[in-house]
């Protein structure tokens, strides 16, 4: 998705794409596991060798690197030699989680580093970021949009990784009879333990693309439960849920309060999400109003990925698309 929008924004005469999943097919499962867990071994060697081979084909005005957890400093130096401008982007944590010593050693080589994690800004600076930009997560208007009318919507939805607090909230919602649609990695055991609840619809480990957007759109309330593994303040769901015409119910924090008002989303305290959600569902008039306000705030607020990415590259004077 970012690739396609960047082509539209930058209007490149050459748009080479180097897919680092290509060399992974040559690696054993053990090598892949070792590479992902420890950032070392045959997978790392294969990826860096492949990137260096591919990058040697052209000289570039701009090279955009997404999630450079595998790229060594030596490879990044080669990339740097081939580019007038080198940008790194990740929507993920890179210091509190997904840490890569390769990236930290390479960071000073980038002209611009882009993060969606405000709580990691200081870590980027200390690691030598030359220019640093914070941007929000966002949504893709080609996918994340309304598919259902308000009258067609049912229940509460959560899509994301299973974590203890999230499991607690979902379990409490089931106990009070609220219909929950659930999908994401790690929920299999939870779904098995709660299989006697007829108000649980478990969709499996993942729902993607338009199917994901339709699942959000077909629900009255989307839960914006944040991770407890690191101090996450917002996530992609923060904008995808309202963009699909569904009310966002999320914990309140300083970052979310900058994005939304209490007229746009439903905020809850960590100790009372179930009470908040019951109150929401008991007041359909207010629910519909907040749903509409949230939708308008997101689709008119510059949270689509085209606008976000154009603002990012414009900090270096690069944006040319309309």
- Closest of 303, 322, 283 to residue 243, by C-alpha: 303
Strands (E), 107-188: 112-115, 132-134, 156-159, 180-183
CB 225, CB 158: distance < 8 Å: yes
The pair of structure tokens assigned to 190 is 């939870």
Parse the chain into domains and list their residue ranges.
2-137+304-314, 150-299
Helix (H, G, I), strand (E, B) or coil at 3: helix
Tally Cβ neighbours within 10 Å of residue 17: 7
Encode the chain (322 residues) as per-residue pLDDT tens digits: 999 999 999 998 888 999 999 999 999 999 999 999 999 999 999 999 999 999 998 999 999 999 999 999 999 999 999 999 999 999 999 998 889 999 999 999 999 999 999 999 999 999 999 999 999 999 999 999 999 999 999 999 999 999 999 999 999 999 999 999 999 999 999 999 999 999 999 999 989 999 999 999 999 999 999 999 889 999 999 999 999 999 999 999 999 999 999 999 999 987 778 999 999 999 999 999 999 999 999 999 999 999 999 999 999 988 666 5
| Equal CATH topology for 2-137+304-314 and 150-299 | yes
Instruction: Identify the pLDDT of residue 271.
Output: 76
Alpha-carbon distance 261 to 285, whole Å? 18
Task: Say if domain 2-137+304-314 classifies as CATH 3.40.50.
Answer: yes
Which of 234, 221, 232 minimizes the C-alpha distance to 283? Answer: 221
Q: Return the DSSP state at 283.
A: -
Q: What is the pLDDT at residue 318?
A: 83
- Residue 28, helix vs strand vs coil: coil
pTM of the model: 0.92
What's the pLDDT at 96? 84
pLDDT at 319: 64
pLDDT of residue 322: 57
Residue 25 · residue 47 · CB < 8 Å? no
For the chain, the straight-line distance linking the first and the last C-alpha, in angstroms and rounded, comes to 17
What superfamily in CATH does domain 150-299 come from? Glycogen Phosphorylase B; (3.40.50.2000)
Cβ distance 151 to 170 under 8 Å?
Answer: no
Q: How many Å apart are CA 272 and CA 281, to the nearest integer?
A: 15
Dihedral in degrees, nearest 10, Cα atoms 121, 127, 129, 135: -20
**15 closest CA partner among 62, 85, 75, 71:** 62
């Amino acid at each position: 998705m970012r690739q396609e929008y960047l082509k539209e924004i930058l209007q490149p005469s050459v748009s080479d794409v180097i897919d680092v999943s290509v060399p992974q097919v040559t690696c054993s499962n053990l090598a892949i596991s070792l590479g992902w867990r420890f950032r070392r071994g045959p997978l790392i060697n294969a990826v860096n060798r492949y990137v260096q081979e591919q990058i040697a084909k052209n000289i570039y005005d701009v090279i955009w690197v997404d999630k450079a957890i595998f790229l060594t400093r030596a490879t990044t130096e080669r990339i740097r030699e081939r580019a007038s401008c080198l940008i790194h982007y990740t929507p993920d944590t890179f210091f509190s989680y997904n840490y890569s010593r390769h990236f930290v050693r390479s960071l000073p080589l980038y002209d611009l580093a882009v993060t969606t994690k405000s709580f990691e800004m200081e870590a980027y600076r200390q690691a030598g970021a030359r220019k640093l930009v914070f941007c929000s997560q966002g949504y893709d208007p080609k996918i994340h949009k309304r598919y259902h009318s308000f009258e067609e919507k049912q229940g509460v939805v959560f899509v994301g990784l299973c974590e203890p607090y999230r499991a607690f909230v979902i379990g409490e919602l089931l106990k009070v009879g609220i219909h929950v649609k659930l999908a994401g990695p790690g929920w299999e055991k939870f779904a098995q333990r709660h299989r006697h609840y007829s108000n649980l619809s478990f969709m499996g480990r993942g729902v993607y693309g338009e199917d994901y957007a339709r699942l959000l759109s077909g629900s009255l309330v989307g839960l914006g439960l944040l991770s407890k593994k690191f101090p996450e303040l917002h996530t992609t769901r923060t904008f995808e849920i309202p963009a699909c015409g569904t009310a966002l119910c999320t914990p309140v924090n300083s970052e979310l309060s900058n994005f939304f008002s209490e007229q746009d989303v439903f905020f809850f305290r960590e100790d009372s999400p179930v009470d908040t959600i019951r109150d929401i569902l008991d007041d359909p008039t207010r629910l519909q109003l907040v749903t509409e306000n949230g939708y308008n705030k997101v689709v008119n607020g510059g949270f689509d990925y085209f606008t976000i990415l154009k603002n990012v590259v414009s900090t270096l004077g690069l944006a040319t698309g309309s």
